[in-house]
């Protein structure tokens, strides 16, 4: 008997049909992965069963009863708990991780009125033990990384006595070790009879977890794949075209390096290392969360500094004191978590594709200071064509775009002007397979600059790069390009 | 700028009901303003005379000038609570410079504007360098200035013949040229403060909506980290915003001083609240839901029309603050509640 069943759901947004005759069911103790390119209807369906949206027509039953939650609170009270991809709202900066974990208990009238620090700490630790995560309960929520916030969100979802747990890209910013720990937790929940609806673009996740992969396209469930899942087929079904060869031929770098790093120490006392990136080369750095990938990229971009070591750009000493200095020297960076590091909020000036692309180039494009829309519109139109950005036009808000298309806009920002070195921190976060393919093609098509990418997903690293390096304990390890023998050490504590 | 850019795309997808709602959302303040003016004219035909309309504009000019400054600080994600005190201090300073130091109009104007800019710089120093939260820094500055302006004259208002703390008598007087700033009008019709207001509004509108500096100011307020990572000099942009706000506040003070012709210790009491209200009402104008200079100007005029009309209809003066508050509450409800995008 299915736990949750959806019959012929329809939902439109203006003229766009997000769901068209969508039917679906999930059993208790089943892990179903929803796959679909952006705009296929995954999040619309999730929003309907988690009480954020209502369907235009169709019916959902949960435990054989009609289920149409009006609010997310109603859905989670009934046992359908959603852990969202964006985790800024899970806790409150200024309060601790323990407070974030127990937020909904503070609201519960049946809980004691007075709360003590000790009790919060004890209960939060119990919740984390239950979830199998290791997080510092006394840390300020604002100091957590995106991955750690994700863990908080999942731990809280688990504590909510969920019968159906919906996870939206839960591992998008988790390291391999943390992902494995999460798999174990989820498989344990499955044994307890909890159904899990899992949205992810990572085949590694789905391979480890999914009993069934449901592929959506155009608002419809087009095909279900049972275990063992043929992922190439599933991905082809999802993007509606055959998959091009995933791993491109590596190029061997020649000539003088564009960027050199010698005797670099990220933290005082960490092992020094060297790095050289050549023109036309794409180098990926992989490694667990907290290994120092972001710290390295930030230091190269002038948003932080090395403890020791020397940087050279085009053979000349290079020591940027600010991102501005780095940009002027021809170094660009698209930071991790594009919502925080690259985009303007919705409804605020600068949210358009045009303005998002032009932001770093305003002084070059508009030397008089007066903004004329034509130039940035032309640049945006060119980017839309070249990268295949799906948008209603160059002035569309980036918030009307899917994650993959947002990432393309961020990439377009730094490709709008020639540069020497492009730094990309987790460029495939929340990007579907189709868009990822486009982005990789775009990154690899440039031979006029060097590209350095940080990603915690080795699979992505090999897919995009000519050369893959591994970072561990704030130092680079030398690595072979062949195969799967990645020297990823397991770590007791996620930093 | 964004809203205008979005309109073509919005039109293609929106259905007619959405279209009507869009018009209501963006035009609500204008529709209300037109209704008010028609209503007041019917009740009291003198309302619509050029003289009365100009007196409304003259009455709101200082608020609009200060409000434009607040708008710029709101754009960078800050808030300048010190503007009322800066304006009041500027009234005192202008009077002191002329009556005690015997300076002329030009020197007084330059010095007072420099004083406003310096206070803005000091605010920016607290906020940008020392990382004091903007509300607290400017609140403290307001406190400081409110007290500081009393010290040179030992708490007395400044008018010719002022007896100084050391017992001597001030010999200067208001420069007649200075008084023309507040009391003359172009062609006998448009008062000079109204022209100043128009110049400030146009200059700041162009700066915030049409230049790359404006784009960067809003970018700093929208996402400071993203702006810095895009190479934007966020510290300098914030400093610029507070300097603009301080300078405009002192310009407002000059206009007040030139109108009243004395340095009154209690002048500028309600300026802060009125200017903040104008910029917040401005959020509702055109349905932008963000600080914008044009909206601030409309907000100031809206309040001015309402107060003027009610006064003509013999509403007692003590209801004025209530009316302003009610307009503000209504505008904010309209901005954030009723007109929210679906």
Fold adopted by B50-338: ABC transporter involved in vitamin B12 uptake, BtuC (1.10.3470)
Residues A261 and A58 sit within 8 Å (Cβ to Cβ):
no
What is the residue whose two structure tokens read 């239950």?
A: A130
- Select the residue from B223, B240, B284, B341 to test the A interface by mutation, using most A Cβ atoms within 10 A: B223
**Cα(B10)–Cα(B5) distance, integer angstroms:** 9
Strand partners, A26: A4
Tokens of A159: 């504590």
Whether residues A349 and B215 touch (CB distance < 8 A) is answered with: yes
Strand partners, B263: B158
**Cα(A463)–Cα(A335) distance, integer angstroms:** 20
Q: What is the pLDDT of residues B151-164, one digit of tens each?
A: 988 888 898 888 88
**Cα(B80)–Cα(A32) distance, integer angstroms:** 53
Q: Is residue A483 part of a domain?
A: no
The residue segments making up the domain with residue A139 are 4-239
Pair (A224, A332) in one structural domain:
no
HSE-up (13 A, CA, CB side) for residue A274:
4
Whether residues B230 and A323 touch (CB distance < 8 A) is answered with: yes
Min Cα–Cα distance to chain B from A337, Å: 11
Pair (A262, A221) in one structural domain:
no
Instruction: Please state, in angstroms and as integers, the Cα–Cα distance from residue B315 to each residue in A232, B42, B45, B280, B322, following that order.
Output: 77, 16, 17, 25, 12
Whether residues A359 and B12 touch (CB distance < 8 A) is answered with: no
pLDDT along chain A (495 residues), means of 10: 88 78 91 80 87 88 89 84 71 80 73 76 84 79 76 77 82 69 83 87 78 87 84 75 53 79 88 90 82 91 91 93 93 91 92 94 92 92 92 90 91 92 91 85 89 84 84 71 34 30
Cβ within 8 Å of residue B136, ≥6 positions away = none
Strand partners, A33: A198, A213
Model pLDDT, residue A87: 63
Tokens of B157: 């208002």
Coil, helix or strand at residue A380: helix
Residues B271 and B83 sit within 8 Å (Cβ to Cβ):
yes
Model pLDDT, residue B342: 42
Q: Is residue A330 part of a domain?
A: yes
Contacts of B225 in chain A (CB under 8 A): 340-341
Residues B319 and B17 sit within 8 Å (Cβ to Cβ):
no
**Cα(B321)–Cα(B273) distance, integer angstroms:** 10
Pair (A165, A289) in one structural domain:
no
> Of A52, A71, A131, which Cα lies nearest the Cα of A97?
A131
Residue A59 CA from chain centroid, whole number: 32
Pair (A226, A262) in one structural domain:
no
Model pLDDT, residue A88: 63
Residues A94 and A142 sit within 8 Å (Cβ to Cβ):
yes
Whether residues A333 and B211 touch (CB distance < 8 A) is answered with: no
**Cα(B329)–Cα(B277) distance, integer angstroms:** 9
φ, ψ for residue B10 (rounded to 5)?
Answer: -65, -40
Model pLDDT, residue B3: 40
Q: Which of A323, A350, A370 sits opposite B210 (nearest CB)?
A: A370
Pair (A195, A290) in one structural domain:
no
Residues B72 and B241 sit within 8 Å (Cβ to Cβ):
yes
Model pLDDT, residue A238: 75
Instruction: Please state, in angstroms and as integers, the Cα–Cα distance from residue B109 to each residue in A22, B116, B192, B198, B272, following that order.
Output: 71, 11, 15, 19, 21
Min Cα–Cα distance to chain B from A380, Å: 14
**Cα(B239)–Cα(B241) distance, integer angstroms:** 5
Q: Which of B1, B214, B231 sits opposite A327 (nearest CB)?
A: B231
Q: Is residue A487 part of a domain?
A: no
Q: Is B21 on the interface with A (CB under 8 A)?
A: no
φ, ψ for residue A469 (rounded to 5)?
Answer: -115, 155
Cβ within 8 Å of residue A83, ≥6 positions away = A150, A153, A154, A156, A157, A165, A166, A167, A168, A170
Q: Is residue A490 part of a domain?
A: no
Cβ within 8 Å of residue A439, ≥6 positions away = A387, A404, A407, A408, A411, A427, A428, A431
Tokens of A106: 């503070």
Pair (A345, A454) in one structural domain:
yes
Q: Which residue of A has its CA nearest to B222?
A: A344
Chain A to chain B, count of Cβ pairs less than 8 Å apart? Answer: 113
Cβ within 8 Å of residue B177, ≥6 positions away = B104, B105, B106
Q: Is B228 on the interface with A (CB under 8 A)?
A: yes
Give the count of domains, chain A. Answer: 2
Exposure string of A263-277, with b = 16+ CB inside 10 Å and e = fewer, is: ebbbeeebebbebbb
Pair (A398, A333) in one structural domain:
yes
Strands A257-265 and A16-26: unpaired
Whether residues B222 and A352 touch (CB distance < 8 A) is answered with: no
Contacts of B231 in chain A (CB under 8 A): 323-324, 326-328, 360
Whether residues A369 and B232 touch (CB distance < 8 A) is answered with: no
Q: Is B231 on the interface with A (CB under 8 A)?
A: yes
Preceding peptide of A228 cis, ω within 30°: yes
Domain limits, chain B = 50-338
What is the residue whose two structure tokens read 């009077």?
A: B95
Cβ within 8 Å of residue B160, ≥6 positions away = B99, B170, B172, B173, B174
Host H or E run for residue A275 = strand A273-278
pTM for the model stands at: 0.76
Q: Is B119 on the interface with A (CB under 8 A)?
A: no
- A-facing residues of B in 140-179 (CB < 8 A) are none
Tokens of A206: 């789905």
**Cα(B81)–Cα(A179) distance, integer angstroms:** 48
**Cα(A384)–Cα(A375) distance, integer angstroms:** 14
Tokens of A326: 């780095």
Q: What is the CATH number of the domain that holds A55?
A: 3.40.50.300
**Cα(A473)–Cα(A487) distance, integer angstroms:** 12
Pair (A220, A347) in one structural domain:
no
Whether residues B225 and A340 touch (CB distance < 8 A) is answered with: yes
Q: Is A349 on the interface with B (CB under 8 A)?
A: yes
Cβ within 8 Å of residue B290, ≥6 positions away = A347, A348, A349, B75, B218, B283
The angle at the Cα of A459, spanning A453 to A462, to the nearest 5 degrees, equals: 55
What is the residue whose two structure tokens read 């750095």?
A: A285
Q: Which of A15, A323, A396 sits opposite B229 (nearest CB)?
A: A323
**Cα(A275)–Cα(A273) distance, integer angstroms:** 7
Whether residues A370 and B216 touch (CB distance < 8 A) is answered with: no
Whether residues A392 and B9 touch (CB distance < 8 A) is answered with: yes
Tokens of B308: 């003027």
Whether residues B215 and A350 touch (CB distance < 8 A) is answered with: yes
Contacts of A362 in chain B (CB under 8 A): 212, 215-216
Instruction: Please state, in angstroms and as integers, the Cα–Cα distance from residue A102 to each residue in A112, B9, B222, following that order.
Output: 13, 43, 30
Q: Is B236 on the interface with A (CB under 8 A)?
A: no
Q: What is the DSSP letter of A38?
A: T
**Cα(A407)–Cα(A391) distance, integer angstroms:** 13
Tell whether the torsion through CA atoms of A217, A222, A226 and A232 is positive or negative: negative
Contacts of A323 in chain B (CB under 8 A): 228-231
Q: Is residue A340 part of a domain?
A: yes
Backbone φ/ψ region at A269: left (φ over 0), alpha (ψ -120 to 50), beta: left
Residues B84 and B119 sit within 8 Å (Cβ to Cβ):
no
Pair (A226, A331) in one structural domain:
no
> Of A67, A69, A59, which Cα lies nearest the Cα of A7?
A59
Host H or E run for residue A492 = none
Whether residues B225 and A354 touch (CB distance < 8 A) is answered with: no
User: A198: how many CB neighbours lie within 10 A of its CB?
Assistant: 22
Q: Which long-range contacts (CB under 8 A, 24 or more apart) does B154-159 make?
A: B155/B265, B156/B265, B157/B262, B157/B263, B157/B264, B157/B265, B158/B92, B158/B95, B158/B96, B158/B99, B158/B100, B158/B262, B158/B263, B159/B95, B159/B99, B159/B262, B159/B263
**Cα(A358)–Cα(A432) distance, integer angstroms:** 25
Host H or E run for residue A20 = strand A16-26
Pair (A212, A276) in one structural domain:
no
Q: Is residue A118 part of a domain?
A: yes
The ranges of chain B with pLDDT < 70 are 1-18, 338-342
Contacts of A327 in chain B (CB under 8 A): 230-231
Backbone φ/ψ region at A416: left (φ over 0), alpha (ψ -120 to 50), beta: alpha
User: A189: how many CB neighbours lie within 10 A of its CB?
Assistant: 18
**Cα(A292)–Cα(A44) distance, integer angstroms:** 36
């Amino acid at each position: 008997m299915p736990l949750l069943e959806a019959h012929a759901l329809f939902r439109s947004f203006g003229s766009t049909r997000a769901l068209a005759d969508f039917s679906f069911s999930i059993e208790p103790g089943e892990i179903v992965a929803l796959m679909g390119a952006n705009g296929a209807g995954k999040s619309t369906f999730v929003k309907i069963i988690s009480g954020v949206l209502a369907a235009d027509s169709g019916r959902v039953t949960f435990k054989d009863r009609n289920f149409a939650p009006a609010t997310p609170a109603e859905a989670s009270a009934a046992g359908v708990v959603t852990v969202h991809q964006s985790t800024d709202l899970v806790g409150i900066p200024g309060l601790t991780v323990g407070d974030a974990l127990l937020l909904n208990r503070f609201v519960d009238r049946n809980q004691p009125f007075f709360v003590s620090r000790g009790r919060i700490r004890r209960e939060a630790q119990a919740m984390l033990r239950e979830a199998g995560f290791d997080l510092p309960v006394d840390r300020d929520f604002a100091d957590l990384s995106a991955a750690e916030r994700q863990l908080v969100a999942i731990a809280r979802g688990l504590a909510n006595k969920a019968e159906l747990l919906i996870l939206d890209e839960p591992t998008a910013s988790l390291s391999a070790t943390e992902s494995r720990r999460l798999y174990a937790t989820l498989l344990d929940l499955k044994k307890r009879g909890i159904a899990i609806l899992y949205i992810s673009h990572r085949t590694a996740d789905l391979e480890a977890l999914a009993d069934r992969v449901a592929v959506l396209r155009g608002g419809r469930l087009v095909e279900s794949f049972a275990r063992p899942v043929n992922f190439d087929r599933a991905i082809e079904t999802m993007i509606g075209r055959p998959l091009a060869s995933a791993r491109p031929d590596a190029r061997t770098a020649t000539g003088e390096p564009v960027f050199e790093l010698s005797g670099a120490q990220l933290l005082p006392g960490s092992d020094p290392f060297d790095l050289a990136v050549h023109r036309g080369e794409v180098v990926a750095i992989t490694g667990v969360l907290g290994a120092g990938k972001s710290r390295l990229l930030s230091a190269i971009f002038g948003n932080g500094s090395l403890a020791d070591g020397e940087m050279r750009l085009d053979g000349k000493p290079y020591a940027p004191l600010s991102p501005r200095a780095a940009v002027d020297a021809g170094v660009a960076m698209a930071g991790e978590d594009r919502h925080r590091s690259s985009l303007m909020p919705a409804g605020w000036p600068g949210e358009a594709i045009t303005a998002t692309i032009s932001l770093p180039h305003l002084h070059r494009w508009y030397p008089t200071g007066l903004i004329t829309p034509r130039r940035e519109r032309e640049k945006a139109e060119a980017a839309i064509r070249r990268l295949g950005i799906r948008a209603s036009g160059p002035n569309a808000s980036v918030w009307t775009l899917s994650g993959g298309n947002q990432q393309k806009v961020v990439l377009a920002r730094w490709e709008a002007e020639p540069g020497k070195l492009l730094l990309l921190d987790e460029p495939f976060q929340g990007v579907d397979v189709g868009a990822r393919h486009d982005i990789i093609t775009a990154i690899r098509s440039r031979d006029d600059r060097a590209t350095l990418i940080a990603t915690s997903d080795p699979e992505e690293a090999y897919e995009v790069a000519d050369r893959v390096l591994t970072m561990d304990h704030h130092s680079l390890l030398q690595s072979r390009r062949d195969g799967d023998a990645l020297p990823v050490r397991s770590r007791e504590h996620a930093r | 700028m964004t809203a205008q850019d979005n309109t073509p795309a919005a039109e293609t997808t929106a259905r007619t009901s959405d279209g009507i709602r869009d018009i209501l959302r963006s035009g609500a303040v204008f529709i209300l303003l037109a209704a008010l003016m028609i209503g007041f004219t019917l009740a009291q035909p003198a309302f619509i005379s050029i003289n009365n309309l100009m007196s409304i504009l003259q009455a709101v000019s200082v608020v609009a000038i200060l409000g434009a400054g607040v708008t710029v600080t709101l754009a960078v994600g800050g808030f300048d609570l010190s503007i009322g005190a800066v304006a009041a201090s500027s009234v005192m300073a202008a009077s002191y410079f002329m009556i005690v130091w015997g300076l002329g109009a030009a020197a007084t104007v330059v010095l007072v504007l420099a004083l406003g800019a310096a206070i803005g710089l000091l605010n920016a120093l607290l906020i940008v360098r020392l990382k004091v939260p903007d509300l607290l820094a400017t609140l403290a500055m307001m406190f400081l200035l409110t007290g500081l302006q009393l010290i040179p004259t030992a708490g007395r208002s400044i008018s010719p013949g002022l007896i100084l703390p050391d017992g001597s008598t001030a010999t200067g007087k208001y420069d007649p040229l200075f008084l023309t700033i507040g009391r003359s009008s172009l062609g006998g019709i448009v008062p000079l403060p109204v022209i100043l207001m128009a110049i400030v509004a146009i200059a700041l509108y162009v700066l915030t909506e049409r230049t790359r500096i404006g784009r960067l100011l809003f970018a700093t307020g929208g996402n400071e980290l993203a702006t810095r990572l895009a190479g934007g000099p966020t510290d300098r942009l914030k400093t610029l915003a507070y300097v603009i706000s301080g300078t405009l506040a002192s310009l407002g003070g000059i206009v007040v001083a030139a109108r009243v012709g004395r340095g009154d210790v209690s002048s500028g009491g309600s300026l802060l609240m009125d200017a903040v209200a104008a910029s917040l009402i401005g959020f509702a104008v055109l349905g932008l839901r963000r600080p914008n200079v044009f909206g601030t100007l409309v907000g100031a005029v809206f309040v001015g029309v309402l107060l003027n009309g009610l006064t003509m209809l013999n509403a007692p003066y003590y209801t004025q603050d209530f009316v302003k508050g009610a307009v503000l509450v209504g505008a904010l409800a309209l901005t954030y509640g009723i007109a929210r995008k679906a």
